[in-house]
């Protein structure tokens, strides 16, 4: 599955791998610009899930029969693939979760809650998704710790100096998005990690929006926790992972230890004693992880370099098309971005435009994108967001721009 690298990215061929992209919406060919919300799935993923249920559906917990062996092997191979994909030093450092939200909550409850005291601080940034805010607020309420926020610039870039200045001795954890889900900004995570490490402050990185677009190498990134989700990475929903250094995971008590209904979930101490299994109580999303393994294989086949070049060209094209339109305000013009563009059109409400675009077959998201504080920073209640993936085309951007120009006149 090589041969793409170094050559022009054949998007037409890639699109054939995604059955859903061929459908129409309201009689028009679909333009799917909502991949930051959830990505479409390649045939390889759909077929892997289908094959699991048809051929080797069994539980993964110590089943001694052949089906159990096959299911366990497929499930655990997703852990191997994730470890390799993220550049993790060890597969034992990959905890499989239902997604980023669960991964961050695991750190909040198992790592932060027992450690934090009144007066301690957790540092986040203005551009965080609610999933990287609310778990920390809940920990703060229970410990008396405080949330501290590192600001961003009007261009939508983290102000690195201010972030570093905020790493005071009272800060016991810093948590930052690798890539902003609203602005598309790629944060300089390695630089932030170096600054945090120098001060002995662990850094958690929310990698939800990064993994689909940028090559992640945990060996060089230097953070202490990395949370990601599978469904934005072209895999099934309900899959994700937390990576943490082995020595940190060993110190963390089980998340679901001894709580009410959780006690009824099969939680076999013999099998699940050590990390990462310690944190994987109950029957996991086996089919989902089989699918996620297939998604990673698929991405490996395309190659990050080829994807990256194509996505950068899409981003430039989309940004220019929107800049050329009068009365369009862009949010987030960072130097380093993934193809995610938030914007508003003068005199038109985001939801109205999203509905009208939908009738043109174009799927974009409107709303606050689970980032209220960021909306407050820009002083807007909501934005429209076009978020692209490698399967999008320049022709789709042209259709989107033409449709936007047309439907906004309806509301003028």
Partner 1 sequence: MSDGAALYPQLVLEHRRNPRNRGHLATCTHAADGANPLCGDRLRIELRCEAGHIVQLRHSGEACAVAVATASMLGELVDGLDADAVDALGERFAAYIEGRGDATGLGPLAAMAGLQQHPSRRKCALLPWATLRAALAGSAGATTETESSMQASTATAPPAFRAAVAADVDAIVDLVQSAYRGEGSKQGWTTEADMLDGQRTDPAGVAALLTTPGSLVLLAESAGRLLACAHVERQGDAAYFGMFSVSPQLQGGGIGRAMLGEAERIARDEWGCREMQMTVISIRDELIAWYERRGYRRTGQYKPFPYGDERFGVPKRDDLRFELLVKVLQARS
Contact flag: residue 250 with partner 1 (CB under 8 A): no
Alpha carbon distance 70, 289 (integer Å): 13
CB of 366 to partner 1, least distance (A): 8
Residue of 196, 242, 249, 370 marked active site: 370
In this complex, which beta carbon is closest to partner 1, that of residue 270 or of residue 409? 409
Alpha carbon distance 187, 173 (integer Å): 17
Q: Of residues 30, 160, 380, 405, which one binds partner 1 by CB under 8 A?
A: 380
Contact flag: residue 411 with partner 1 (CB under 8 A): yes
Contact flag: residue 26 with partner 1 (CB under 8 A): yes
Total residue length of the chain: 412
Candidates 93, 119, 92, 124; CA nearest to 108 is 124
Alpha carbon distance 223, 218 (integer Å): 7
Active site residue 223: no
Contact 282, 267 (CB under 8 A): yes
Q: Of residues 352, 377, 399, 401, which one binds partner 1 by CB under 8 A?
A: 352
Q: Of residues 62, 84, 250, 372, which one binds partner 1 by CB under 8 A?
A: 372
Stretch touching partner 1 by CB under 8 A, among 308-316, 335-343, 368-376, 387-395: 368-376
CB of 150 to partner 1, least distance (A): 20
In order of 33, 67, 72, 373, 409, the CA distances from 339 in angstroms are 10, 42, 36, 22, 26
Alpha carbon distance 279, 254 (integer Å): 5
- Angle in degrees, CA 270, 273, 276, rounded to 5: 135
DSSP, res 60 = S
Count interface residues toward partner 1 (CB under 8 A): 24
- The phi-psi region of residue 354 (left if phi > 0; otherwise alpha if psi is between -120 and 50; otherwise beta) is alpha
CB of 220 to partner 1, least distance (A): 37
CB of 349 to partner 1, least distance (A): 4
Contact 155, 332 (CB under 8 A): yes
Stretch touching partner 1 by CB under 8 A, among 31-39, 110-118, 376-384, 389-397: 376-384
In this complex, which beta carbon is closest to partner 1, that of residue 197 or of residue 368? 368
Alpha carbon distance 210, 344 (integer Å): 24
Stretch touching partner 1 by CB under 8 A, among 188-196, 235-243, 316-324, 404-412: 404-412
Q: x-or-dash pattern for partner 1, window 98-137, by CB under 8 A?
A: ------------------------------------x--x
Candidates 99, 56, 74, 93; CA nearest to 293 is 74
Q: By the criterion CB under 8 A, which residues form the site for partner 1?
A: 26-28, 134, 137, 141, 349-352, 355-356, 359-360, 367-368, 372, 375, 380-382, 407, 410-411
Active site residues: 370
């Amino acid at each position: 599955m090589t041969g793409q690298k170094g050559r022009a990215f054949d998007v037409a061929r890639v699109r054939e791998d995604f059955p859903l992209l061929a459908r129409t919406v309201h009689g028009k060919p679909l333009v799917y610009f909502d991949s930051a919300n959830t990505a479409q799935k390649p045939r390889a993923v759909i077929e892997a899930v289908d094959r699991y249920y048809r051929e080797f559906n069994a539980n993964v917990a110590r089943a001694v029969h052949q089906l159990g062996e096959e299911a366990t092997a497929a499930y655990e191979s997703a852990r191997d693939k994730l470890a390799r994909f993220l550049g993790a030093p060890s597969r034992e450092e990959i905890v499989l979760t239902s997604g980023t939200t669960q991964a961050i909550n695991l750190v909040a409850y198992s790592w932060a809650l027992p450690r934090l005291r009144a007066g301690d601080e957790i540092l986040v940034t203005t551009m965080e998704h609610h999933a990287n805010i609310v778990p920390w607020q809940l920990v703060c309420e229970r410990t008396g710790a405080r949330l501290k926020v590192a600001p961003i610039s009007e261009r939508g870039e983290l102000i690195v100096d201010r972030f570093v200045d905020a790493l005071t001795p009272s800060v016991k954890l810093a948590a930052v998005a690798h890539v902003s889900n609203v602005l598309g900004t790629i944060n300089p995570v390695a630089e932030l990690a170096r600054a945090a490490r120098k001060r002995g402050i662990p850094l958690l990185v929310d990698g939800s929006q990064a993994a689909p677009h940028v090559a992640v190498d945990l060996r060089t990134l230097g953070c202490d926790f990395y949370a990601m989700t599978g469904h934005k990475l072209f895999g099934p929903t309900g899959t994700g992972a937390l990576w943490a250094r082995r020595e940190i995971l060993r110190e963390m008590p089980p998340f679901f230890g001894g709580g009410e209904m959780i006690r009824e979930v099969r939680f076999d101490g013999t099998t699940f004693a050590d990390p990462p299994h310690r944190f994987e109580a109950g029957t996991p999303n086996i089919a989902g992880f089989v699918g996620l393994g297939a998604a990673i294989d698929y991405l490996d086949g395309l190659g990050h370099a080829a994807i990256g070049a194509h996505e950068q060209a899409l981003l430039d094209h989309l940004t220019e098309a929107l800049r050329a339109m009068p009365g369009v305000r862009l949010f987030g013009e960072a130097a380093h971005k993934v193809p995610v563009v938030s914007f508003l059109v003068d005199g038109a409400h985001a939801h109205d435009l999203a509905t009208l675009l939908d009738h043109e077959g174009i799927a974009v998201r409107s709303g606050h994108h689970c980032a209220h504080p960021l909306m407050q920073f820009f002083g807007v209640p909501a934005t429209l967001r076009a978020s692209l993936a490698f399967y999008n085309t320049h022709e789709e951007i042209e259709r989107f721009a033409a449709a936007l120009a047309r439907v906004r006149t309806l509301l003028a």
